[in-house]
């Protein structure tokens, strides 16, 4: 029987190599090793058990607020599942499924000006995710292309640059800030939650449209997911702080430095996400199969397994 110690020794080198490549240095080596042993390896074992129990492609949702590190967590779990468990993994981000800038511009004219800004339900091409999920359920898997979005230019890349999935994955991880989000009651939409809603959505048109998308289109896709892993932030104030750090990192990597967001732009940007993020903190904290509790310093406090 495979053990956690075997797993640790086999993937330690690749794990540290990944952290170095991504320039994740802020935590001590002790913390990185502890996280690998106590957090990531146990979750990977849990995922592998769920896959073996299902016996076919396992669809997982991994969600957390802006800048919380969900993309990093998904990448680390992928490393462990590929190297130690020899699983065929496909990690996709809901961000890559954003509608094109042109499509969102049309939405802004036809529905509400706020839809030009990517992020909320309604700004994704949710049918592309649904089609991919359906394709993983078929016995004969056909080669499929999945979109790639470049945040620096705020637009989808050309189809020639899309991800090419030519093998049926055993495990799919869909990561994203709103993965697993549920619609609110109509009455709860009435009171604005921030200045953006108060000043720019006075007639509730934007809020109602987003909520309706969650109630119908997104609900159908999220219902296809077998299990959810939720990373819970201590409070929403930290989302701004962490998103600011994320933008600085993007600026260092990007060739389009002038198009990354400023301090004030980020402050306004996260207002688009606030309502759904707060609701997810209530809902998924109770319903997620795996709950990862985060500390204020961005570290993982503990994990709670609700489904063995």
pLDDT tens sequence for the chain (308 residues):
579 999 999 999 999 999 998 877 667 889 999 999 999 999 999 999 999 999 999 999 999 998 889 999 999 999 999 999 999 999 999 999 999 999 999 999 999 999 999 999 999 999 999 999 999 999 899 999 999 999 889 999 999 999 999 999 999 999 999 999 999 999 999 999 999 999 999 999 999 999 999 999 999 999 999 999 999 999 999 998 888 887 777 666 655 555 677 888 889 999 999 999 999 999 999 999 999 999 988 889 999 999 76
Q: Which residues pair with 117 in a beta bridge?
A: none
Give start and end residues of each alpha helix (H) in 36-87: 41-54, 70-83
148 in helix, strand or coil? Answer: coil
Q: What number of H helices and E strands is found in the chain?
A: 12, 10
* Cβ neighbours of residue 221 closer than 8 Å, sequence gap 6 or more: 126, 129, 130, 133
What is the reported pTM? 0.93
Joined together, the tokens standing for residue 170 give 């055993």
What are the structural domains, with CATH classification, of the chain? 58-67+90-305 (3.40.50.300)
Joined together, the tokens standing for residue 268 give 């306004």
């Amino acid at each position: 029987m495979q053990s956690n110690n075997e797993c640790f020794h086999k993937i330690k080198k690749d794990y540290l190599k990944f952290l170095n490549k991504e320039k994740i240095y802020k935590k001590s080596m002790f913390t990185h090793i502890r996280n690998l042993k106590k957090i990531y390896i146990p979750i990977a074992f849990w995922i592998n058990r769920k896959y073996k129990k299902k016996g076919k492609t396992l669809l997982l949702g991994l969600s957390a607020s802006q800048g919380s590190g969900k993309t990093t967590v998904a990448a680390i779990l992928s490393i462990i599942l590929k190297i130690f468990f020899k699983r065929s993994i496909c990690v996709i981000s809901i961000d890559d499924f954003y509608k094109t800038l042109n499509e969102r511009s049309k939405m802004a004219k036809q529905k509400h000006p706020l839809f030009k800004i990517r992020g909320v339900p309604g700004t994704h091409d949710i049918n592309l995710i649904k089609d991919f999920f359906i394709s993983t359920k078929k016995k004969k898997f056909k080669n499929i292309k999945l979109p790639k979005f470049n945040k620096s230019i705020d637009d989808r890349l050309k189809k020639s640059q899309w991800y090419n999935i030519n093998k049926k994955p055993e495990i799919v991880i869909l990561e994203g800030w709103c993965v697993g989000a549920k619609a609110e009651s109509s009455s709860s939409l009435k009171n604005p939650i921030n200045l953006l809603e108060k000043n720019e959505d006075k007639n509730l048109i934007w809020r109602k449209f987003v909520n309706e998308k969650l109630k119908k289109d997104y609900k159908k896709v999220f219902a296809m997911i077998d299990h959810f892993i939720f990373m819970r932030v201590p409070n929403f104030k930290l989302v701004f702080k962490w998103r600011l750090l994320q933008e600085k990192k993007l600026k260092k990597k990007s060739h389009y430095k002038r198009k990354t967001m400023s301090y004030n732009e980020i402050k306004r940007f996260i207002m688009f996400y606030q309502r759904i993020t707060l609701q997810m903190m209530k809902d998924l904290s109770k319903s997620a199969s795996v709950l990862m509790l985060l500390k204020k310093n961005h570290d993982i406090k503990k994990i709670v397994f609700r489904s063995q």
